Amino acid sequence: MHEQIGREAAMPNPALTAFGVLIGGWTTVGSHPLVPGTTLHGRASFEWIEGGAFLLMRSEILNDSRFPSGMAVFGHDDAQGDWMMIYFDQRGVSRIIHTSLSGKVWKTWRDAPGFSQRMTATISDDGNTITSVGELSRDGSTWEADLSQTFTRERWGGRGAPRPPRGTLRQ
């Protein structure tokens, strides 16, 4: 077996500490203007990878195949003081999305010609519910509804402890 190259860098990234509130498995319920009147059911998970150097998000909508499963790796640029997600989904779409988490408000945004997106999410005081509102803009100035979701933390065993996402190693 090969020794892990660069293993010394596999350590917690202090710039990502605030995002720790997202760690765990979540069920999602949402809506999208593409399918008015339809409740979208899904799930998401967040886990530290590489010893906490990065955060990995996985997401899927379970009841409508028009919405792709995706994943994103969260990181931080020390020089610019900017957090970002590198997103990839089952269609082969890849995007850099900026993100922030301040207090109980998590935001994501992407400003791109012809298709900008933003999301504002509020985290409940107990950290077990996240309510997000998504918007998109095709001209950079007029915003319309996009995917909006409520995330509910998964629980197990009646003890109130979050269940780790499948395949997650506790770190």
Long-range contacts of 104-110 (CB under 8 A, 24+ apart): 106/22, 106/130, 106/132
- Catalogue all structural domains in the chain, each as residue range(s) with its CATH number: 7-153 (2.40.128.20)
Work out the angle at residue 154's Cα, subtended by the Cα atoms of residues 63 and 25, and round it to the nearest 5 degrees: 75
Q: What is the pLDDT of residue 1?
A: 61
Q: What is the pLDDT of residue 157?
A: 47
Reference 27, options 65, 51, 57, 59; nearest CA is 59
3-state secondary structure of 9: helix
The tokens describing 12, both together, are 């917690």
For residue 75, the tally of other CB atoms under 10 A from its CB is: 17
Q: What is the pLDDT of residue 3?
A: 82
Q: What is the pLDDT of residue 156?
A: 61
- Cα 169 to the center of its chain, rounded Å: 18
pLDDT averaged per 10 residues in sequence order, the chain, 171 residues: 84 96 98 96 98 97 96 97 97 98 98 96 98 97 97 71 41 34
Q: What is the pLDDT of residue 155?
A: 83
